[in-house]
Structure 1
Amino acid sequence: MKNFAVIGNPISHSLSPEMHNAAILDLGIDAHYTRKRLSIEQFDTEFPLFLEKIEGCNVTVPFKERVIPFLDELDDFARKCGAVNTIVRRNSKWVGYNTDGLGYLLGLTEKRALHKNDHVLLIGAGGASKGIYLALKEKVGCQVTVANRTIQKAAEMIRDFENDRAISLDMAEEELGSFTIVIQTTSIGLPKTIDETPISLHHLKPGTICSDIIYNPAKTLFLKEAEKRQAIIQNGLPMFIHQGALAFRLWTGQKPSTDVMKKAVLASL
């Protein structure tokens, strides 16, 4: 039996096991998928020992950048964005991929097609944000402004694209009315910060697409506030399903049913 997992901290909220085990059962694969909480302080010791027990894994907050030094190779997209959310054992080597970016775009197009003239505000500059940012630039080519608590981290993320900007969260609040799409990529809204939102939405325009990559809870305070202001909202479920399906194919070589995966997640939510 092959063993797969998702690692993170926190990790109890993740429904990756429910989603992937449903796909495994549907395709009749001899495998099992679980969740694993790794220590933030002892990660460098725990992660190599964990790798010995699995064939592949997903990586979530806050380890998408910290896993990279332990890998033998990086897929071109993962190398360019500097973040890994999927790890695969290939011929005794560990290879890192990033399915977050393409998974996010596939999910967002369920709301509407993205255009080159869209102006996107990306809140946060962590591992998930990096994959989404690069996918927006490579697949859509629209202008993206990155707002982060530490502006320098946002500036490093956009350094290869001269028309984009890195701004503070306060500036993002003031300029909110100028964006057609707002994407919330931070961990604010997960159980520990369920009553918080990364920025005020007072200046949000009705009809703006507001997307939060968190799917559990299904509607964060960020999305609730956006909905009050007549925004078009989407939680992280579509991204979660699509990035998961892409990762599943990398591990097994088989294409899972996204319908089966979605039903499993919805049943658990």
Structure 2
Amino acid sequence: MSAFQLAVWGDPIAHSKSPALHAAAYRVLGLDWEYGRRQVDAASFRDALEGLGADWRGLSLTMPLKEEAFRAAATRDAHAELTGAVNTLLLGDDIAGYNTDVGGIIDALSEAGITEARSVRILGAGATAASALVAAADLGAESVEVSARRPERAADLVALGEHIGVSVDARSLDDAVADADLTIATLPSGTVLPEEVAAALAERGGVLFDAAYAPWPSALAAGWGDAAVVSGLGMLLHQAVRQIRIFRHGDPSTALPDEAAVVSAMRAVL
């Protein structure tokens, strides 16, 4: 295939592992593609996007650009439509938007042996929480408790739950009441909860999937007790695999050539 330009955009962006992940994959695939990074904030996103040339194949988007990318996409996949967030743009005459975070969560949990969860607790009510809620529904969750510093921020998640047939109960972090098979933490990296709050969440939280991975273990993961803990590095890896499928095939569900070797090379650079 022709040489293409790709990149990850966000603000901040210096910490991103995406360039290393994508470069490792493209080497295995024999693609002469260049994948970089660029600090872009929400206010400058549209101008930056319009300034790209015809040699640009796609973009990965992180905070705070997922909503901006959603608005820029002419078409969107089902997960993007549900969450209102796009983390992948396939560029061309008509820009296509995708949310690979949902699949990344599901794939990471499946790799850890978790393929279903009837009751789920989501920590946090930001953009990643919407992807976590859709992933929970795909895992068979019938009820989800959203625990957040400001439960009123979860109103959109309650509405999303109604739309996808999942009962969502929003509470404060220190008022969690439900027993959960699985806890999905979407709190910002470096978050340290009060010891008594973290202990109460761990006691009734089941398996912990923590989307944060730097530093690792997170404070929450370090104190989770005897239950299994799954790092967000798995989500980072698998959402990137789905992005590369999109950039290569235009379809997040079409496997890459020798995908096992691609994933192995990507995992080695994490």
2:114 corresponds to which residue?
A: 113
Q: d(CA) in 1 for partners of 2:113 and 2:45?
A: 40
2:96 corresponds to which residue?
A: 95
Q: d(CA) in 1 for partners of 2:44 and 2:208?
A: 36
1:2 corresponds to which residue?
A: 4
- Determine if contact 2:117/2:181 at 8 Å carries over to the other structure: no
CA-to-aligned-CA distance 1:15-51 (integer Å, 9 cap, x gap) = 1111111110111112111121113454444444358
When structure 1 is superposed on structure 2, of 142-151 and 102-111 the one drifting more is: 142-151
1:216 aligned partner, one-letter code:
A
Task: State the secondary structure of the residue aligned to 1:103.
Answer: helix
Instruction: Check 1:41–1:182 CA distance in 2 against 1; reply closer, same or farther (3 A cut).
Output: same
2:216 corresponds to which residue?
A: 218
Where structure 2 has 5 or more consecutive residues not aligned to the other structure, the ranges are 250-254
What's the offset of the Cα at 1:5? Answer: 1.1
Task: Indicate whether 1:124 and 2:124 are aligned.
Answer: yes
2:244 corresponds to which residue?
A: 248
What is the aligned-residue RMSD (CA, Å)? 2.6
Task: State the secondary structure of the residue aligned to 1:77.
Answer: helix
Structure 1 counterpart of 2:172, from 168, 172, 193: 168
1:102 aligned partner, one-letter code:
G
Instruction: Check 1:206–1:138 CA distance in 2 against 1; reply closer, same or farther (3 A cut).
Output: closer
- Determine if contact 1:125/1:157 at 8 Å carries over to the other structure: yes
Instruction: Check 1:251–1:198 CA distance in 2 against 1; reply closer, same or farther (3 A cut).
Output: farther
TM-score by length of 2: 0.83
1:235 corresponds to which residue?
A: 231
Q: d(CA) in 1 for partners of 2:237 and 2:81?
A: 23
Instruction: Check 1:83–1:258 CA distance in 2 against 1; reply closer, same or farther (3 A cut).
Output: farther
What's the offset of the Cα at 1:168? Answer: 1.9
Instruction: Check 1:65–1:114 CA distance in 2 against 1; reply closer, same or farther (3 A cut).
Output: same
Q: d(CA) in 2 for partners of 1:158 and 1:53?
A: 41
Q: d(CA) in 2 for partners of 1:141 and 1:206?
A: 16
Percentage of pairs with the same residue:
29
Instruction: Check 1:123–1:49 CA distance in 2 against 1; reply closer, same or farther (3 A cut).
Output: farther
Instruction: Check 1:133–1:207 CA distance in 2 against 1; reply closer, same or farther (3 A cut).
Output: closer
1:69 corresponds to which residue?
A: 71
TM-score by length of 1: 0.84
Pairs aligned (count): 256
- Determine if contact 2:117/2:136 at 8 Å carries over to the other structure: no
Task: Indicate whether 1:202 and 2:199 are aligned.
Answer: yes
1:39 aligned partner, one-letter code:
D
Task: State the secondary structure of the residue aligned to 1:134.
Answer: helix
Instruction: Check 1:36–1:156 CA distance in 2 against 1; reply closer, same or farther (3 A cut).
Output: same
1:25 corresponds to which residue?
A: 27
1:124 aligned partner, one-letter code:
G
Instruction: Check 1:111–1:265 CA distance in 2 against 1; reply closer, same or farther (3 A cut).
Output: closer
2:252 corresponds to which residue?
A: none
